[in-house]
């Protein structure tokens, strides 16, 4: 079987590594996803274990496309009855880049007509169309001369693990957070701190990795309503597992906002990971008196401009003052650590007056971002009054 797993742009190679680890054969890594091959169990495992994929789609047809009639024929000639029960609702999404299909809504209609006509001929009934909460999704991708049809196995997008209920300010998507952990080279033995943790996405994802909890362990999938779905085999694959918490946590999340820390705590509780994996704190980052370990990774997506909140040091609340103060803190208290900061502000190194060892381009939805990595070399500390020394 051939599958395509879309993912946030910039994470294709990390996703390919993840898919190889579950036994998939990677065929290609075009921008925005990975094409791979494997049997049915690989499709199930990719849904269950991929932390970076947005969905897992099975390629069900591919053919030349010179116009809407070709699309209709391709959809009509595909054996949808193998997978789809006509009583279940359907949604079709078409992406067309070639000049052959200038009217994309019409092209989408023709794919939908092809599927619906086929199912009506086979079963005497036609599925209803539901754009809000469809039981099954089909994706059509057409370029200059070919069209490919995909059957979605995931249902709800895979970044919805089921643990997030408490929102906070601008939360990261769970699969983007997992991708940032992969790109930053973090391993579970390494201490990790997010001092701008918000709803805790980076820390909760790290905790799930460290505790060995599969991202899909607590949710349902579209394939569970596919014809011929083998529930017993699926139950065997997804046997729940969570390692007990270590004696001393290596994962740390903090935020200036009390509400954000409460949300992060509640999110962790729903993730299937024991409480003892993470130490949470409500603290202004500039009040951090010391790093939580001698070396580790500080990973965060820091706030932008007016989102900065500084307690008791209003003089530092403006970005021009905040970032140099944060850089001094890194140099003084985080010597030996790596700091990986994910931001859409391409000038962040300039504000920090630090030279990044690496800058990785990435997309957060349509927003172009960077993951900047700074090595806080031991011995580079200089005293700066801005970082302060109050205990926190």
Which residues of the chain form contacts with ligand SAM (CB under 6 A)?
168-172, 195-196, 198-199, 201-202, 255-257, 260, 284-286, 301, 303, 307-310
CA distance 285 to 374: 17
Q: Which is nearer to ligand SAM, 256 or 297 (CB)?
A: 256
Residue 385's contacts (CB-CB under 8 Å, 6 or more residues apart) are: none
What are residue 5's DSSP bridge partners? 34
* N-terminal to C-terminal alpha carbon distance within the chain: 55
Structure tokens at 210: 């460290």
Least Cβ distance, residue 210 to ligand SAM (angstroms): 18
Q: Which is nearer to ligand SAM, 28 or 170 (CB)?
A: 170
Could you tell me the CA-to-CA distances from 152 to 291, 314, 364 in Å, in that order? 44, 50, 22
Q: Which is nearer to ligand SAM, 165 or 236 (CB)?
A: 165
Q: Which is nearer to ligand SAM, 116 or 256 (CB)?
A: 256
Q: Which is nearer to ligand SAM, 60 or 341 (CB)?
A: 341
Q: Are 288 and 256 in contact (CB under 8 A)?
A: no
Least Cβ distance, residue 303 to ligand SAM (angstroms): 4
Q: Which H or E run includes 330?
A: helix 319-333
CA distance 318 to 131: 44
Q: Which is nearer to ligand SAM, 307 or 350 (CB)?
A: 307
Q: Which is nearer to ligand SAM, 127 or 292 (CB)?
A: 292
Name which of 296, 293, 267, 68 is nearest 172 in CA terms. 267
Least Cβ distance, residue 105 to ligand SAM (angstroms): 34
Q: Are 114 and 72 in contact (CB under 8 A)?
A: yes
Q: Which is nearer to ligand SAM, 38 or 171 (CB)?
A: 171
Count of other CB atoms within 10 angstroms of residue 152: 20
Least Cβ distance, residue 205 to ligand SAM (angstroms): 9
Least Cβ distance, residue 291 to ligand SAM (angstroms): 15
Least Cβ distance, residue 325 to ligand SAM (angstroms): 9
* SS3 state at 170: coil
Residue nearest to ligand SAM (CB): 198
Count of other CB atoms within 10 angstroms of residue 252: 23
Count of other CB atoms within 10 angstroms of residue 31: 8
What are residue 124's DSSP bridge partners? none
Least Cβ distance, residue 362 to ligand SAM (angstroms): 14
CA distance 131 to 288: 48
Least Cβ distance, residue 342 to ligand SAM (angstroms): 8
């Amino acid at each position: 079987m051939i599958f395509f797993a879309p993912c946030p742009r910039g994470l294709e190679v990390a996703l390919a590594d993840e898919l190889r680890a579950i036994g998939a054969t990677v065929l290609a890594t075009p921008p925005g996803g990975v094409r791979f091959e494997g049997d049915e169990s690989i499709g199930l495992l990719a849904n269950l274990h991929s932390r970076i994929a947005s969905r897992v789609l099975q390629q069900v047809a591919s053919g030349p496309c010179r116009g809407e009639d070709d699309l209709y024929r391709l959809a009509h000639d595909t054996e949808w009855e193998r997978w789809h029960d006509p009583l279940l609702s359907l949604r079709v999404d078409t992406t067309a880049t070639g000049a052959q299909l200038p009217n994309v809504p019409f092209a989408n209609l023709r794919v939908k007509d092809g599927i619906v006509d086929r199912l009506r001929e086979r079963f005497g009934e036609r599925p209803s169309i539901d754009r809000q909460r469809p039981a099954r999704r089909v994706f059509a991708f057409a370029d200059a001369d070919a069209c490919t049809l995909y059957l979605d196995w995931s249902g709800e997008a895979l970044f919805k693990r089921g643990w997030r209920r408490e929102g906070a300010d601008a939360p990261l998507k769970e699969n983007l957070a997992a991708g940032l952990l992969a790109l930053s080279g973090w391993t579970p033995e390494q201490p990790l701190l997010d001092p701008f943790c918000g709803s805790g996405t980076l820390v909760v994802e790290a905790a799930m990795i460290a505790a060995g909890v599969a991202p899909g362990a607590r949710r349902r999938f579209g394939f569970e309503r596919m014809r011929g779905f083998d529930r017993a085999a699926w139950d065997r694959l997804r046997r729940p597992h969570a390692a007990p918490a270590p004696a001393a946590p290596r994962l740390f999340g903090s935020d200036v906002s009390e509400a954000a820390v409460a949300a992060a705590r509640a999110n962790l509780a729903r993730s299937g990971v024991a409480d003892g994996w993470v130490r949470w704190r409500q603290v202004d980052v500039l009040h951090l008196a010391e790093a939580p370990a001698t070396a580790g990774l500080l990973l965060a997506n820091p706030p932008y401009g007016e989102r900065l909140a500084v307690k008791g040091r209003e003089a530092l609340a403006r970005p021009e003052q905040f970032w140099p103060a944060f850089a001094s803190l890194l140099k003084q208290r985080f010597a030996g650590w790596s700091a990986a900061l994910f931001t859409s502000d391409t000038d962040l190194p300039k504000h920090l007056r630090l030279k990044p060892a690496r800058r990785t381009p990435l997309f957060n939805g349509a927003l172009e971002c960077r993951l900047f990595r700074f090595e806080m070399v031991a011995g580079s500390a200089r005293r700066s009054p801005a970082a302060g020394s109050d205990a926190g």
